Structure 1
């Protein structure tokens, strides 16, 4: 039997200003493309270029139809939207653009990542074409929903043939909060790129990145938004650097909080100990992880944070908040879990982790799950759903 034709819908893939954005979806699409015939539609809202009508939670830039990325067959398109005002219609409008494109591709199944509005658009399109639909939830599309987003998320989940979650905690949240079917909700956790995220020589990486041998280096990798706990991180660092002048903090990524963070750093006199490194390619992220003493992720909410997986694969311990599926990655051998939005706990945990003796080789050896594993498991679910309909 020939491999299935899968139409993959996503609003998130790596872009020029943020190479970490949607990396986990890209890696899943690439792994799945090695096993089946997959075409990816990278679908984005297109906002009016007017003051006050830009999204507040993420940097937005129109992605042109010439968008390309190695390893996947991708078509980028955008639909008109107004932040907040068009939220209830975004899925409908996006589906109208998707339906003729998918009809020409003639897929056996639609697979979408991000429940609303993109999963809803995928579901409407799949029903128009008479084929099954699977939606994958990634994090805040389950954990941070309210108002019309919550209503439409529930409707989308009720209609799909399968709901995929990246953590067991998210699966339970989808069942309890949105009425997802226990039998049709499955967990497929993320993997990591073994060719990039692996133990590297710490001294060599510090020399390359210009980090002093005596520095105690803590890094953060992710979007620069308030919900990632960055204000708490800056405050915890401010306290710690008063006791340890060799402490350094590097923030890797980009986002709407970039300017505010710059102000916060200068206001607290932290210019010599905090670096805003900007968005980095995965290879650069791996170098920073190797150079660091530890990685921290003090988020208020998470799905299954891939940067935590990548740090552990590189042999580095992690201090992170006990939210979402983070507990499914971190234990006492590879990190410390703390409550969210708690500066005191974050300060103590960072201090403790920096002083503790970690077995870096054992930390890295315990992380083995790859994106090929994710691709195989995802394909198995797709094939099962296609067989059920037939």
Structure 2
């Protein structure tokens, strides 16, 4: 989590990051005051698979048989490098369960307490297989403390057999000084989706909702910002629905471009089938953009009736009605926009989130 690392440094915490390597990236470098180590895990370098798809490790695991072999070498290299570089640190803060396992394996060398934050797929998908469930429980049991980005994930962790008092809820933050509302005059007739184009993001249902939306709001366009294995089938679905001219697939976008799109859009939609939290919703809310999202998992922590609309997953008709509700009444839209920004600043500002992590670090060290 680059944003977390930067936020920690702003609060005076020295941060050293062990990250996943990709072909072409340096093994060692610095971004500002943040030291970054990316250990190689396969040779030749061009065959490294684990970051090949934007949909993350679950997509790579299913698509590339070699990736299943590389998981072991990745794990061992990260355990070795973490053990080495953590020796001069106070706490190891792992950002998913695989990294937490590597940190725990090397604890006999680095002697640091291990905190793990779980975000989604490592808790929602991996434990579906009995071996995955057992390994996840084993890793979490070895960690000194666990934070989950939503109450839904906290509940899932406890269901795995982890003691409830060891699991705290600390959501993903947003830089509210960067993600800001734009003036109303800059708003355009845009419906925006941001995320990986994978099945569990539910983009197909958003496309299927668009004909109903366009029948009421023909001047609107749908912008899909993201890439992934479903892009070809989604483009074909747009053609089949007769809406391809009203849908723009703009591909993967930088964070700055995403912010601009959110400031221009009238509504941000996240029709996921499962979601650990939905960080894009928090970013949209910080921009004063109302949201429509599926009533699943951690999304229910983020979206209240004051900031947008929750709908049933995999239901294009209900999704279309939710989007129409946000767009139809200008007065209600302004209320959503104002409340969205207020909620993002009050609950998801990094200046609120980071002190909670610092308090956890201090409790582990002290």
> TM-score band, normalised by the shorter chain?
0.7 to 0.9
Q: Where in structure 2 are there 5+ consecutive unaligned residues?
A: 43-48, 50-65
More helix by share: 2
More contact order relative to length (CA 8 Å, sep ≥ 6):
1
Where does structure 1 differ by over 6 angstroms across 4 or more consecutive aligned residues? none
Inter-partner Cα distance in structure 2 for 1:254 and 1:95: 31
SS at match of 1:84: helix
**In the alignment, which residue of structure 1 is the partner of 2:84?**
100
Q: How does 1:322-337 map to 2 (within 5 A)?
A: 322-337=295-310
Task: Provide the rounded CA distance (Å) in 2 between the counterparts of 1:98 and 1:107.
Answer: 10
**Distance change in 2, residues 1:194/1:244 (3 Å):** closer
Verify the 8 A CA contact 1:253 1:280 in the aligned structure 2. yes
Aligned to 2:38: 76
Cα distance in 2 for partners of 1:231, 1:186 equals 34
Structure 1 residue 375: Cα displacement:
1.8
Decide which of 133, 143, 160 is 1:150's aligned counterpart.
133
Q: 1:87 touches 1:149 (CA, 8 Å); kept in 2?
A: no
Question: Once the two structures are superposed, what CA deviation does each residue of 1:315-359 show, in whole Å capped at 9, x if it has no partner?
Answer: 221110112221122111111111222222212212222213221
Partners of 1:62 and 1:300 lie apart in 2 by 34
For 1:3, the equivalent position in structure 2 comes to: none
Question: What is the distance in 1 between the residues matched to 2:226 and 2:199?
Answer: 13
In structure 1, runs of 5+ residues without a counterpart are 1-24, 47-60, 207-214
Residue matched to 2:154: 171
Give me the TM-score of the superposition, normalised by structure 2: 0.84
| Conservation of the 8 A alpha-carbon contact between 1:110 and 1:134 | yes
Alignment of 1:7-46 (within 5 A): 25-34=1-10, 35-44=12-21
Query: Secondary structure of 1:289's match?
Result: helix
Cα distance in 2 for partners of 1:127, 1:41 equals 18
Q: In the TM superposition, what are the counterparts of 1:187-336 in structure 2 within 5 Å?
A: 187-204=169-186, 206=188, 215=189, 217-336=190-309
Which segment is superposed worse, 222-231 or 356-365?
356-365
Q: Deviations for 1:87-110, whole angstroms, at most 9, x for unmatched residues?
A: 56753453134333434xx22221
Whether 1:128 and 2:109 are equivalent positions in the alignment is: yes
How far is 1:66 from its partner? Answer: 5.8
Structure 1 residue 283: Cα displacement: 2.7
Q: CA RMSD in A?
A: 2.2
Residue 13 of structure 1 corresponds to none
Is residue 2:75 matched to residue 1:91? yes
Query: Aligned-pair distance for 1:235?
Result: 1.0
In the alignment, the residues of structure 1 paired with residue 33 and residue 210 of structure 2 have an alpha-carbon distance, to the nearest angstrom, of: 39
Change (3 A) 1:205 1:257: same
Does structure 2 retain, via aligned residues, the 8 Å contact 1:88–1:152?
no
Give the TM-score normalised by structure 1: 0.79
| Cα shift at 1:264 | 2.5
Structure 2 residue matching 1:196: 3-state secondary structure = coil
Q: What is the aligned residue count?
A: 335
Shift of 1:296: 0.5
Contact 1:28 1:374 in 2 (8 A): no
Q: CA deviation at 1:185?
A: 1.0
